[in-house]
Amino acid sequence: MEIIVQPEMTFFRLSQTFGISLDLLVKSNRFLEPDQLIPGQVVKIPGYETTTHIIQSGDTLYRIGIEYDVPLDQLLISNQVDPRELEVGQTVRIPELTEQRITDVHKSYTSDRVEDELMLLISRYPFMELQTIGESVLGKPIYELHIGTGNKLVHINGSFHANESITTNVIMAFIEDYAHAMVDQEPIRGIDMNAFFRDVRLSIVPLVNPDGVDLVNGQLPNDQEIRDQVIEINNGSTDFRTWKANIRGVDLNNQYPAGWMIEQQRKPKTPQPRNFPGYGPLTEPEALALYNLALAEQFDRVLALHTQGEVIFWGYEGFEPPEAEQIVLEYQRVSSYTPIRYVDSHAGYKDWFIQDFRRPGYTIELGKGVNPLPISQFDDIYEDMLGIFLANYYI
């Protein structure tokens, strides 16, 4: 919701009127000088939307407030009207802290729907920041969302693999639950999300592999040459439900310079629906976007969400720091997922992160079954992952 600044209006007064923390209000309006609001400027009130009321005979703002259960101060600030001079037929804005969800997490995501929902989320919750960190092979944007102002920088990503897109559902659900809890001033599992916001800064890439995820969802490329290529790679089939790679048949989580040569020697030598590590490390724009992002932002820890197995891989070649074990044991406690330190696998995103940064990195395998996991598993998976997301505040 947007309001027009009136004389003597301050962020503190707005914070008190709408029940939103001052820090959150200032962050939502980061392009304004917090101590120098000027009449006529537009201020965003996160989490609020407006309906309208047409003035009827006998209406007053006080009566309207009672009718809609809205404090009089909110009505006065939301409407540049003299309450003593209301006219029949006049339109009055009714502010409301909305409860209607934006994310539809009980059906599979496509890249278009991720984009649409992210745009709606940052419009409703402007304290979050959205940027494009790169593009897929087909030119689809890869988005990163930032939430929080803390010094601890935690990165979360999902859908490296096309047939594991339920990880995107989990991430999108958490984004909205977190944002709503902030404006509603409600904890999540006892965690004060305003304190989380102040202490932790989240970097979130909900969808690493948009082309592949769209392919799994039945959206073949418009370009006929590329369409023919993916069908050929898929052994002539147009059923891409088990496709794991990007649109060029490269496994994006086999693209990183941490033992890439080992994987190259024992994995397929040509593009495949799964497991082809490419003709070299970081040949694919999606993998390169995540690589460059980590170099630029210098994360303190990373969580790469995959499916399936209900395990957490947390080591790589002994490069993991001592605190990585303490963290993963807490992740295990809140999720019941089994920590696994070493596995005969290389060239993954968390492998490279641990090797090059010597910081905690985790590949978290959500759920159990055969990929793609059915959306019916979402609720159970989300409850497990929610504990892991929240644990990043206190450990």
Catalytic residues: 365
With H, G, I as helix, E, B as strand and everything else as coil, classify residue 235: coil
**Contact, 145 vs 118, CB < 8 A?**
yes
Question: Quick one: tokens of 171?
Answer: 């991430």
Q: How far apart are CA 281 and CA 260, in angstroms?
A: 7
Q: How far apart are CA 242 and CA 372, in angstroms?
A: 7
E strands within the chain? 2-4, 42-44, 48-54, 91-97, 129-135, 141-147, 152-158, 200-205, 301-307, 311-313, 338-340, 361-366
Angle at 175 between CA 46 and CA 195, to 5 degrees: 70
For helices 378-394 and 166-184, the axis angle rounded to 10 degrees is: 60
Residue 315 dihedral angles phi and psi, to the nearest 5°: -125, 160
Question: Quick one: tokens of 317?
Answer: 């070649």
Q: What's the gap between Cα 40 and its chain centre?
A: 33
Give the sign of the dihedral formed by CA 293, CA 297, CA 299, CA 305. negative
**Contact, 3 vs 48, CB < 8 A?**
no
What is the rounded radius of gyration, in angstroms, for the C-alpha atoms of the chain? 24
Angle at 355 between CA 154 and CA 333, to 5 degrees: 50
Q: How far apart are CA 282 and CA 255, in angstroms?
A: 5
